[in-house]
Structure 1
Amino acid sequence: MTIQAVMFDFSGTVFRLEQDPSWLAEFTDDNGAALDIEARTEIIRRMTAPSGQVVELSEEYQYAWENRDLDPALHVKVYLEVLRRSGLRPKQAEALYARVIDPAEWTPYPDAEAAFKGLAGKGLKVGVLSNIAFDIRPAFAAHGLDGYVDEFVLSFEEGAIKPDPAIFRTLLERLGVAPENALMVGDSEEADGGARALGCRFALVEPLPTVERTDGLLTALREHGIGVEDRF
Protein backbone atom coordinates (compact mmCIF):
# COMPACT_ATOMS: atom_id res chain seq x y z
CA MET A 1 0.00 0.00 0.00
CA THR A 2 1.08 3.58 -0.62
CA ILE A 3 1.99 5.65 2.41
CA GLN A 4 -0.32 8.65 2.63
CA ALA A 5 0.45 9.81 6.16
CA VAL A 6 3.29 9.67 8.67
CA MET A 7 2.65 9.79 12.40
CA PHE A 8 5.49 10.85 14.71
CA ASP A 9 6.11 10.43 18.42
CA PHE A 10 7.46 13.52 20.21
CA SER A 11 10.09 12.79 22.89
CA GLY A 12 13.16 10.96 21.63
CA THR A 13 11.78 11.00 18.09
CA VAL A 14 11.26 14.54 16.81
CA PHE A 15 12.47 16.45 19.89
CA ARG A 16 14.79 15.57 22.75
CA LEU A 17 15.27 17.05 26.20
CA GLU A 18 19.00 17.60 26.05
CA GLN A 19 20.95 17.46 29.26
CA ASP A 20 22.11 20.94 30.20
CA PRO A 21 24.83 20.66 32.88
CA SER A 22 23.82 24.05 34.30
CA TRP A 23 20.43 22.67 35.37
CA LEU A 24 21.97 20.34 37.91
CA ALA A 25 25.34 21.97 38.53
CA GLU A 26 24.40 23.31 41.96
CA PHE A 27 22.13 20.44 43.00
CA THR A 28 23.13 18.37 45.99
CA ASP A 29 21.84 15.22 47.64
CA ASP A 30 20.41 15.01 51.17
CA ASN A 31 23.94 14.94 52.56
CA GLY A 32 24.94 18.12 50.76
CA ALA A 33 27.20 16.36 48.27
CA ALA A 34 27.22 17.59 44.67
CA LEU A 35 25.71 15.23 42.11
CA ASP A 36 28.28 13.66 39.80
CA ILE A 37 27.83 13.51 36.01
CA GLU A 38 26.53 9.94 36.15
CA ALA A 39 23.82 10.91 38.63
CA ARG A 40 22.80 13.90 36.52
CA THR A 41 22.59 11.79 33.37
CA GLU A 42 20.49 9.16 35.13
CA ILE A 43 18.05 11.76 36.45
CA ILE A 44 17.42 13.13 32.95
CA ARG A 45 17.00 9.58 31.64
CA ARG A 46 14.37 8.85 34.27
CA MET A 47 12.45 11.96 33.28
CA THR A 48 12.37 11.10 29.57
CA ALA A 49 12.31 7.28 29.35
CA PRO A 50 9.62 6.37 26.78
CA SER A 51 8.34 3.36 28.72
CA GLY A 52 9.11 1.18 31.71
CA GLN A 53 9.09 2.10 35.37
CA VAL A 54 12.22 3.88 36.54
CA VAL A 55 11.91 3.56 40.36
CA GLU A 56 9.93 1.50 42.85
CA LEU A 57 6.80 3.29 44.06
CA SER A 58 4.17 2.93 46.76
CA GLU A 59 0.61 1.97 45.78
CA GLU A 60 -0.45 5.62 45.77
CA TYR A 61 2.34 6.69 43.46
CA GLN A 62 2.06 3.54 41.37
CA TYR A 63 -1.42 4.62 40.31
CA ALA A 64 -0.07 8.06 39.46
CA TRP A 65 2.75 6.52 37.42
CA GLU A 66 0.40 4.33 35.40
CA ASN A 67 -1.89 7.26 34.64
CA ARG A 68 0.66 10.09 34.49
CA ASP A 69 0.16 10.82 30.79
CA LEU A 70 -3.60 11.13 31.20
CA ASP A 71 -3.65 13.77 33.94
CA PRO A 72 -1.23 16.70 34.40
CA ALA A 73 -1.82 16.62 38.17
CA LEU A 74 -0.77 12.97 38.39
CA HIS A 75 2.19 13.70 36.11
CA VAL A 76 3.65 16.37 38.38
CA LYS A 77 2.88 14.32 41.49
CA VAL A 78 4.68 11.18 40.39
CA TYR A 79 7.66 12.84 38.73
CA LEU A 80 8.38 14.93 41.78
CA GLU A 81 8.39 11.64 43.68
CA VAL A 82 10.70 10.07 41.08
CA LEU A 83 13.10 12.99 41.48
CA ARG A 84 12.91 12.75 45.26
CA ARG A 85 13.75 9.05 45.07
CA SER A 86 16.58 9.94 42.71
CA GLY A 87 18.25 12.06 45.38
CA LEU A 88 16.92 15.56 44.75
CA ARG A 89 15.54 17.77 47.48
CA PRO A 90 11.97 19.17 47.04
CA LYS A 91 12.91 22.63 45.74
CA GLN A 92 15.45 21.12 43.36
CA ALA A 93 12.89 18.61 42.07
CA GLU A 94 10.36 21.37 41.46
CA ALA A 95 12.90 23.48 39.55
CA LEU A 96 13.95 20.58 37.33
CA TYR A 97 10.38 19.47 36.68
CA ALA A 98 9.50 22.99 35.54
CA ARG A 99 12.22 22.73 32.91
CA VAL A 100 11.08 19.29 31.76
CA ILE A 101 7.57 20.51 30.95
CA ASP A 102 8.75 23.77 29.37
CA PRO A 103 8.51 23.33 25.56
CA ALA A 104 11.29 25.90 25.13
CA GLU A 105 13.77 23.50 26.73
CA TRP A 106 13.25 20.80 24.07
CA THR A 107 15.57 20.55 21.05
CA PRO A 108 14.44 19.27 17.63
CA TYR A 109 16.55 16.64 15.89
CA PRO A 110 18.66 18.13 13.08
CA ASP A 111 16.61 16.55 10.28
CA ALA A 112 13.17 17.28 11.75
CA GLU A 113 12.55 20.31 9.55
CA ALA A 114 13.71 18.50 6.42
CA ALA A 115 11.50 15.52 7.20
CA PHE A 116 8.37 17.52 8.00
CA LYS A 117 8.80 20.04 5.21
CA GLY A 118 9.59 17.28 2.74
CA LEU A 119 6.51 15.26 3.66
CA ALA A 120 4.27 18.29 3.34
CA GLY A 121 5.87 19.09 0.00
CA LYS A 122 5.03 15.62 -1.27
CA GLY A 123 1.42 16.01 -0.19
CA LEU A 124 1.58 13.50 2.66
CA LYS A 125 -0.34 14.08 5.88
CA VAL A 126 1.71 14.58 9.06
CA GLY A 127 0.50 13.79 12.56
CA VAL A 128 2.12 13.95 15.98
CA LEU A 129 1.02 11.41 18.58
CA SER A 130 2.45 11.59 22.08
CA ASN A 131 1.99 10.10 25.52
CA ILE A 132 2.38 13.42 27.31
CA ALA A 133 0.78 15.52 30.04
CA PHE A 134 1.65 19.00 28.75
CA ASP A 135 1.06 20.87 25.51
CA ILE A 136 3.94 20.36 23.07
CA ARG A 137 2.54 22.52 20.27
CA PRO A 138 4.59 25.57 21.41
CA ALA A 139 7.80 23.57 20.88
CA PHE A 140 6.86 22.97 17.26
CA ALA A 141 5.78 26.58 16.80
CA ALA A 142 9.05 27.89 18.24
CA HIS A 143 11.00 26.05 15.55
CA GLY A 144 8.61 26.69 12.67
CA LEU A 145 7.46 23.07 12.47
CA ASP A 146 3.82 23.50 13.46
CA GLY A 147 2.82 24.59 9.97
CA TYR A 148 3.75 21.15 8.61
CA VAL A 149 1.68 19.21 11.17
CA ASP A 150 -1.90 18.44 10.20
CA GLU A 151 -2.97 17.02 13.56
CA PHE A 152 -1.66 16.76 17.12
CA VAL A 153 -3.08 13.98 19.31
CA LEU A 154 -1.91 14.17 22.92
CA SER A 155 -2.78 11.53 25.50
CA PHE A 156 -3.83 13.91 28.26
CA GLU A 157 -6.34 15.52 25.91
CA GLU A 158 -7.72 12.25 24.55
CA GLY A 159 -7.93 10.00 27.61
CA ALA A 160 -5.89 7.20 26.02
CA ILE A 161 -2.20 6.31 25.82
CA LYS A 162 -0.09 4.31 23.42
CA PRO A 163 -0.09 1.39 22.75
CA ASP A 164 -3.89 1.51 23.12
CA PRO A 165 -5.19 1.18 19.52
CA ALA A 166 -7.81 3.83 20.32
CA ILE A 167 -5.33 6.71 20.31
CA PHE A 168 -3.76 5.63 17.01
CA ARG A 169 -7.25 5.28 15.54
CA THR A 170 -8.12 8.80 16.68
CA LEU A 171 -5.19 10.29 14.80
CA LEU A 172 -5.80 8.20 11.68
CA GLU A 173 -9.43 9.29 11.57
CA ARG A 174 -8.51 12.94 11.92
CA LEU A 175 -5.94 12.58 9.15
CA GLY A 176 -8.49 10.75 7.00
CA VAL A 177 -6.11 7.89 6.27
CA ALA A 178 -6.54 4.13 6.54
CA PRO A 179 -4.09 2.29 8.84
CA GLU A 180 -2.48 0.39 5.97
CA ASN A 181 -1.59 3.70 4.36
CA ALA A 182 0.16 5.12 7.43
CA LEU A 183 3.63 4.92 8.93
CA MET A 184 4.31 5.42 12.65
CA VAL A 185 7.79 6.67 13.60
CA GLY A 186 8.85 6.44 17.24
CA ASP A 187 11.54 5.50 19.72
CA SER A 188 9.56 2.88 21.66
CA GLU A 189 8.91 -0.59 20.30
CA GLU A 190 6.35 -1.08 23.07
CA ALA A 191 4.39 2.17 22.87
CA ASP A 192 4.82 3.42 19.31
CA GLY A 193 4.99 -0.07 17.84
CA GLY A 194 1.41 -0.53 18.99
CA ALA A 195 0.36 1.09 15.71
CA ARG A 196 1.05 -2.22 13.97
CA ALA A 197 -1.97 -3.75 15.69
CA LEU A 198 -4.13 -1.62 13.41
CA GLY A 199 -2.14 -2.45 10.31
CA CYS A 200 0.18 0.58 10.23
CA ARG A 201 3.82 0.30 9.30
CA PHE A 202 6.33 1.15 12.03
CA ALA A 203 9.85 2.62 12.03
CA LEU A 204 11.97 2.59 15.18
CA VAL A 205 14.48 5.39 15.83
CA GLU A 206 16.98 5.58 18.68
CA PRO A 207 16.51 8.40 21.24
CA LEU A 208 20.15 9.46 21.01
CA PRO A 209 21.49 12.96 21.70
CA THR A 210 20.69 15.24 18.78
CA VAL A 211 24.36 15.60 17.82
CA GLU A 212 24.62 11.82 17.47
CA ARG A 213 21.47 11.29 15.41
CA THR A 214 21.52 13.72 12.54
CA ASP A 215 19.44 11.86 9.94
CA GLY A 216 17.42 9.27 11.85
CA LEU A 217 14.05 10.59 10.68
CA LEU A 218 15.09 10.87 7.04
CA THR A 219 16.55 7.36 7.18
CA ALA A 220 13.36 5.94 8.69
CA LEU A 221 11.30 7.53 5.93
CA ARG A 222 13.67 6.37 3.22
CA GLU A 223 13.55 2.79 4.48
CA HIS A 224 9.81 2.85 3.96
CA GLY A 225 10.03 4.21 0.44
CA ILE A 226 9.61 7.89 1.30
CA GLY A 227 12.50 9.99 0.04
CA VAL A 228 12.12 13.66 0.86
CA GLU A 229 15.68 14.97 0.49
CA ASP A 230 15.05 15.79 -3.14
CA ARG A 231 12.63 18.48 -2.03
CA PHE A 232 15.57 20.82 -1.26
Structure 2
Amino acid sequence: MISLDYLAMPPFSINTVFFDSAGTLVEVPPYSRIWHRIMGDLGLDMSLHRVEVGVRYADLTYGKRYFSYAGRTREYWTSYLGFLLAKLKVEGNQSELAEEMCERFQQHPWSSPYPETKRVLRALKRRGFKLGVISNATDDVTDRLEHVGLAKYFDSFTYSQEAKAEKPHPRIFRLALERAGCKPIEAVHAGDSYDQDVLGAKKVGMQPILVDRREKTHTNDCPSISSLQGIEKLIRLLREDQDESPRTE
Protein backbone atom coordinates (compact mmCIF):
# COMPACT_ATOMS: atom_id res chain seq x y z
CA MET A 1 0.00 0.00 0.00
CA ILE A 2 1.25 3.48 -0.86
CA SER A 3 0.21 6.54 1.09
CA LEU A 4 0.27 10.06 -0.30
CA ASP A 5 1.29 11.21 3.18
CA TYR A 6 4.84 10.23 2.24
CA LEU A 7 5.06 12.70 -0.60
CA ALA A 8 7.10 15.82 0.00
CA MET A 9 5.71 17.83 -2.91
CA PRO A 10 2.39 18.75 -4.52
CA PRO A 11 1.41 15.62 -6.49
CA PHE A 12 0.23 17.55 -9.54
CA SER A 13 3.70 19.04 -10.10
CA ILE A 14 5.31 15.73 -11.13
CA ASN A 15 6.02 15.38 -14.85
CA THR A 16 9.23 13.30 -14.92
CA VAL A 17 10.02 9.84 -13.57
CA PHE A 18 13.65 8.73 -13.23
CA PHE A 19 14.72 5.13 -12.71
CA ASP A 20 17.84 3.38 -11.54
CA SER A 21 18.84 0.59 -13.92
CA ALA A 22 20.25 -2.60 -12.34
CA GLY A 23 17.99 -3.99 -9.63
CA THR A 24 15.18 -1.63 -10.61
CA LEU A 25 14.50 -1.95 -14.35
CA VAL A 26 16.59 -5.04 -15.04
CA GLU A 27 17.97 -7.98 -13.12
CA VAL A 28 21.74 -8.31 -13.44
CA PRO A 29 23.90 -11.09 -11.96
CA PRO A 30 26.98 -10.13 -9.90
CA TYR A 31 29.96 -9.35 -12.11
CA SER A 32 31.94 -12.13 -10.46
CA ARG A 33 29.42 -14.64 -11.84
CA ILE A 34 29.61 -13.06 -15.30
CA TRP A 35 33.42 -13.28 -15.37
CA HIS A 36 33.30 -16.83 -14.00
CA ARG A 37 30.92 -17.92 -16.75
CA ILE A 38 32.99 -16.29 -19.50
CA MET A 39 36.16 -17.88 -18.12
CA GLY A 40 34.43 -21.25 -18.17
CA ASP A 41 33.39 -20.72 -21.79
CA LEU A 42 37.04 -20.00 -22.60
CA GLY A 43 38.15 -23.22 -20.92
CA LEU A 44 39.63 -21.58 -17.83
CA ASP A 45 39.11 -23.87 -14.84
CA MET A 46 38.46 -21.50 -11.95
CA SER A 47 36.21 -21.79 -8.90
CA LEU A 48 33.57 -19.12 -8.40
CA HIS A 49 34.97 -18.35 -4.95
CA ARG A 50 38.41 -17.69 -6.38
CA VAL A 51 36.95 -15.36 -9.01
CA GLU A 52 34.93 -13.53 -6.34
CA VAL A 53 38.09 -12.90 -4.32
CA GLY A 54 39.90 -11.66 -7.42
CA VAL A 55 37.03 -9.34 -8.32
CA ARG A 56 37.11 -7.79 -4.85
CA TYR A 57 40.80 -6.97 -5.33
CA ALA A 58 40.18 -5.63 -8.83
CA ASP A 59 37.31 -3.45 -7.64
CA LEU A 60 39.40 -2.03 -4.80
CA THR A 61 42.27 -1.29 -7.18
CA TYR A 62 40.23 0.13 -10.05
CA GLY A 63 37.48 1.73 -8.00
CA LYS A 64 36.46 4.94 -9.72
CA ARG A 65 39.18 4.80 -12.38
CA TYR A 66 36.42 4.31 -14.93
CA PHE A 67 35.63 8.03 -14.62
CA SER A 68 38.77 8.73 -16.67
CA TYR A 69 37.74 6.23 -19.38
CA ALA A 70 34.68 8.14 -20.63
CA GLY A 71 34.16 7.20 -24.26
CA ARG A 72 36.69 4.38 -23.88
CA THR A 73 34.67 1.81 -21.95
CA ARG A 74 36.09 -1.16 -23.85
CA GLU A 75 39.59 -0.01 -22.97
CA TYR A 76 38.56 0.23 -19.32
CA TRP A 77 37.11 -3.28 -19.19
CA THR A 78 40.10 -4.74 -21.02
CA SER A 79 42.47 -3.13 -18.54
CA TYR A 80 40.31 -4.24 -15.60
CA LEU A 81 40.13 -7.82 -16.86
CA GLY A 82 43.87 -7.89 -17.51
CA PHE A 83 44.42 -6.97 -13.87
CA LEU A 84 41.91 -9.61 -12.74
CA LEU A 85 43.56 -12.35 -14.81
CA ALA A 86 46.98 -11.39 -13.45
CA LYS A 87 45.63 -11.47 -9.89
CA LEU A 88 44.19 -14.93 -10.52
CA LYS A 89 47.54 -16.03 -12.03
CA VAL A 90 45.88 -17.29 -15.18
CA GLU A 91 48.37 -18.90 -17.54
CA GLY A 92 48.64 -17.92 -21.19
CA ASN A 93 48.51 -14.58 -22.96
CA GLN A 94 46.58 -12.52 -20.45
CA SER A 95 46.22 -9.55 -22.80
CA GLU A 96 44.57 -11.68 -25.48
CA LEU A 97 42.36 -13.38 -22.90
CA ALA A 98 41.29 -10.01 -21.51
CA GLU A 99 40.37 -8.84 -25.03
CA GLU A 100 38.36 -12.01 -25.66
CA MET A 101 36.58 -11.74 -22.31
CA CYS A 102 35.72 -8.11 -23.03
CA GLU A 103 34.40 -9.04 -26.47
CA ARG A 104 32.13 -11.72 -25.03
CA PHE A 105 31.01 -9.41 -22.23
CA GLN A 106 29.98 -6.66 -24.64
CA GLN A 107 28.22 -9.03 -27.04
CA HIS A 108 25.77 -10.16 -24.35
CA PRO A 109 23.46 -7.85 -22.34
CA TRP A 110 23.81 -10.02 -19.19
CA SER A 111 20.55 -8.60 -17.91
CA SER A 112 16.84 -9.13 -18.32
CA PRO A 113 13.95 -6.76 -17.64
CA TYR A 114 11.74 -7.60 -14.69
CA PRO A 115 8.39 -9.01 -15.86
CA GLU A 116 6.48 -5.77 -15.29
CA THR A 117 9.10 -3.30 -16.54
CA LYS A 118 8.02 -2.78 -20.16
CA ARG A 119 4.32 -2.61 -19.33
CA VAL A 120 4.90 0.00 -16.62
CA LEU A 121 7.13 2.13 -18.86
CA ARG A 122 4.55 2.02 -21.66
CA ALA A 123 1.81 3.06 -19.23
CA LEU A 124 3.82 6.00 -17.92
CA LYS A 125 4.64 7.15 -21.45
CA ARG A 126 0.95 7.00 -22.38
CA ARG A 127 0.21 9.23 -19.40
CA GLY A 128 2.62 11.81 -20.79
CA PHE A 129 5.47 11.46 -18.31
CA LYS A 130 9.05 12.08 -19.37
CA LEU A 131 11.23 9.12 -18.39
CA GLY A 132 14.93 9.08 -17.55
CA VAL A 133 17.63 6.75 -16.27
CA ILE A 134 20.09 7.67 -13.52
CA SER A 135 22.64 4.89 -13.08
CA ASN A 136 26.02 4.24 -11.51
CA ALA A 137 27.39 2.80 -14.72
CA THR A 138 29.78 3.12 -17.63
CA ASP A 139 28.76 4.71 -20.91
CA ASP A 140 27.54 1.42 -22.38
CA VAL A 141 24.46 1.45 -20.13
CA THR A 142 22.38 2.87 -23.00
CA ASP A 143 23.49 0.07 -25.34
CA ARG A 144 22.68 -2.53 -22.70
CA LEU A 145 19.18 -1.15 -22.23
CA GLU A 146 18.83 -1.08 -26.02
CA HIS A 147 19.76 -4.78 -26.18
CA VAL A 148 16.87 -5.70 -23.88
CA GLY A 149 14.34 -3.42 -25.58
CA LEU A 150 14.10 -0.69 -22.93
CA ALA A 151 16.08 2.27 -24.28
CA LYS A 152 13.25 3.38 -26.58
CA TYR A 153 11.05 4.29 -23.61
CA PHE A 154 13.45 6.87 -22.18
CA ASP A 155 13.96 10.52 -22.99
CA SER A 156 17.31 10.88 -21.19
CA PHE A 157 20.16 8.80 -19.80
CA THR A 158 22.57 9.97 -17.09
CA TYR A 159 25.35 7.73 -15.83
CA SER A 160 28.13 8.16 -13.31
CA GLN A 161 31.00 7.82 -15.77
CA GLU A 162 30.05 11.03 -17.57
CA ALA A 163 28.95 12.81 -14.39
CA LYS A 164 32.22 11.78 -12.71
CA ALA A 165 30.18 11.17 -9.58
CA GLU A 166 28.23 8.19 -8.32
CA LYS A 167 24.90 8.22 -6.56
CA PRO A 168 24.20 9.50 -3.93
CA HIS A 169 26.37 12.48 -4.97
CA PRO A 170 24.10 15.41 -5.94
CA ARG A 171 26.06 16.05 -9.15
CA ILE A 172 24.66 13.07 -11.03
CA PHE A 173 21.08 13.93 -10.03
CA ARG A 174 21.50 17.58 -10.98
CA LEU A 175 22.90 16.59 -14.37
CA ALA A 176 19.87 14.34 -14.91
CA LEU A 177 17.46 17.14 -13.99
CA GLU A 178 19.24 19.57 -16.31
CA ARG A 179 19.18 17.05 -19.14
CA ALA A 180 15.47 16.35 -18.63
CA GLY A 181 14.66 20.05 -18.37
CA CYS A 182 12.74 19.77 -15.12
CA LYS A 183 12.93 21.08 -11.57
CA PRO A 184 13.49 18.78 -8.56
CA ILE A 185 9.89 19.21 -7.38
CA GLU A 186 8.69 18.03 -10.78
CA ALA A 187 10.50 14.68 -10.61
CA VAL A 188 10.50 11.38 -8.76
CA HIS A 189 13.36 8.90 -8.72
CA ALA A 190 12.79 5.17 -8.23
CA GLY A 191 15.65 2.88 -7.24
CA ASP A 192 16.46 -0.22 -5.24
CA SER A 193 19.17 1.27 -3.00
CA TYR A 194 18.20 3.37 0.01
CA ASP A 195 21.71 4.78 0.40
CA GLN A 196 22.26 5.58 -3.28
CA ASP A 197 18.81 6.29 -4.69
CA VAL A 198 16.68 7.52 -1.80
CA LEU A 199 19.29 9.62 -0.01
CA GLY A 200 20.71 10.92 -3.29
CA ALA A 201 17.31 12.06 -4.57
CA LYS A 202 16.52 13.71 -1.25
CA LYS A 203 19.75 15.72 -1.37
CA VAL A 204 18.57 17.60 -4.47
CA GLY A 205 14.91 17.89 -3.50
CA MET A 206 13.52 15.08 -5.64
CA GLN A 207 10.84 12.70 -4.36
CA PRO A 208 12.41 9.24 -3.93
CA ILE A 209 10.61 5.92 -4.27
CA LEU A 210 12.35 2.84 -2.89
CA VAL A 211 11.95 -0.29 -5.04
CA ASP A 212 12.31 -2.95 -2.35
CA ARG A 213 11.69 -6.17 -4.27
CA ARG A 214 12.56 -8.41 -1.33
CA GLU A 215 10.78 -6.18 1.18
CA LYS A 216 13.79 -6.15 3.48
CA THR A 217 14.28 -2.41 3.93
CA HIS A 218 12.10 -0.73 6.53
CA THR A 219 11.74 3.00 6.03
CA ASN A 220 9.10 5.56 6.88
CA ASP A 221 10.56 8.55 5.08
CA CYS A 222 9.59 7.66 1.50
CA PRO A 223 7.17 5.43 -0.42
CA SER A 224 8.35 1.84 -0.74
CA ILE A 225 7.11 -0.58 -3.41
CA SER A 226 7.89 -4.24 -4.04
CA SER A 227 7.75 -4.00 -7.84
CA LEU A 228 7.45 -1.34 -10.51
CA GLN A 229 3.73 -2.04 -10.64
CA GLY A 230 3.64 0.07 -7.50
CA ILE A 231 4.76 3.05 -9.58
CA GLU A 232 1.58 2.79 -11.62
CA LYS A 233 -0.50 2.66 -8.47
CA LEU A 234 1.33 5.65 -7.05
CA ILE A 235 0.76 7.68 -10.22
CA ARG A 236 -2.91 6.69 -10.17
CA LEU A 237 -3.22 7.87 -6.57
CA LEU A 238 -1.50 11.11 -7.48
CA ARG A 239 -3.88 11.73 -10.36
CA GLU A 240 -6.92 10.84 -8.26
CA ASP A 241 -5.73 13.18 -5.52
CA GLN A 242 -5.33 15.94 -8.08
CA ASP A 243 -8.77 15.35 -9.55
CA GLU A 244 -10.38 15.44 -6.12
CA SER A 245 -8.54 18.57 -4.95
CA PRO A 246 -10.78 21.65 -4.71
CA ARG A 247 -10.22 24.16 -7.50
CA THR A 248 -10.83 27.86 -7.55
CA GLU A 249 -12.01 29.60 -10.68
State the alpha-carbon separation in 1 of the partners of residues 99 and 161 from structure 2.
21
Paired residue for 1:12?
Answer: 23
- Tell whether the 8 Å contact from 2:19 to 2:190 is kept in structure 1 after alignment: yes
Instruction: Indicate the residue corresponding to 2:205 in structure 1.
Output: 199
TM-score (norm 2): 0.64
Going from structure 1 to structure 2, the CA distance change for 1:16 and 1:93 (only over 3 Å counts) comes to: farther
The structure 1 segments of at least 4 consecutive aligned residues displaced by more than 6 Å after TM superposition are none
Deviations 1:70-97 (A, max 9, x none): 5234454345434654676646555444
Given the alignment of the two structures, is residue 131 of structure 1 paired with residue 145 of structure 2, yes or no? no
**Alpha-carbon separation, structure 2, partners of 1:189 and 1:85:** 33
Matching of residue 156 in structure 1 with residue 156 in structure 2: no
TM-score by structure 1 length? 0.68
* Counterpart residue number, 1:178: 183
Please name the residue that 2:218 is paired with. none
Residue 243 of structure 2 is matched in structure 1 by: none
Corresponding residue for residue 65 of structure 1: 63
* Alpha carbons of structure 1 residues 203 and 84: separation in structure 2 relative to 1, 3 Å: farther
CA spacing shift, 1:207–1:163, aligned 2, 3 Å: same
Q: Do the aligned partners of 2:81 and 2:101 also contact (CA within 8 Å) in 1?
A: no
1:222 and 1:7 mapped to 2: Cα distance? 14
The aligned length equals: 203
Q: 1:102 offset after TM fit, Å?
A: 4.1
Instruction: Return the letter of the residue paired with 1:133.
Output: T
Letter aligned with residue 23 of structure 1: I
Q: 1:5 to 1:82 in 2, by over 3 A?
A: farther
Q: After TM superposition, give the deviation of residue 101 of structure 1 in Å.
A: 4.0
Asked whether the equivalents of residues 15 and 130 of structure 2 are also in contact (C-alpha less than 8 Å), the reply is: yes
Map 1:83-94; keep pairs closer than 5 Å. 84-85=86-87, 90=94, 94=99
The separation in 1 between residues aligned to 2:77 and 2:58, in whole angstroms, is 16
The letter for the 2-side match of 1:121 is R
Please tell me the residue identity of whatever aligns with 1:128. Answer: V
Letter matched to residue 10 of structure 1: S
Amino acid at match of 1:201: Q
What residue is the counterpart of 2:220 in the other structure?
Answer: none
Letter in 1 for 2:151: D
Higher helix share: 2
Instruction: Specify every segment of 5 or more residues in structure 2 that has no aligned partner in the other structure, as ranges.
Output: 1-9, 215-225, 238-249
Residue 117 of structure 1, CA deviation: 0.8
Judge conservation of contact 1:70–1:160 (CA < 8 Å) in 2. Answer: no
SS in 1 for 2:109: helix
1:134 and 1:207 map into 2 onto residues whose CA distance is 26
Larger Rg: 2
CA contact (8 A) 2:135 2:158 kept: yes
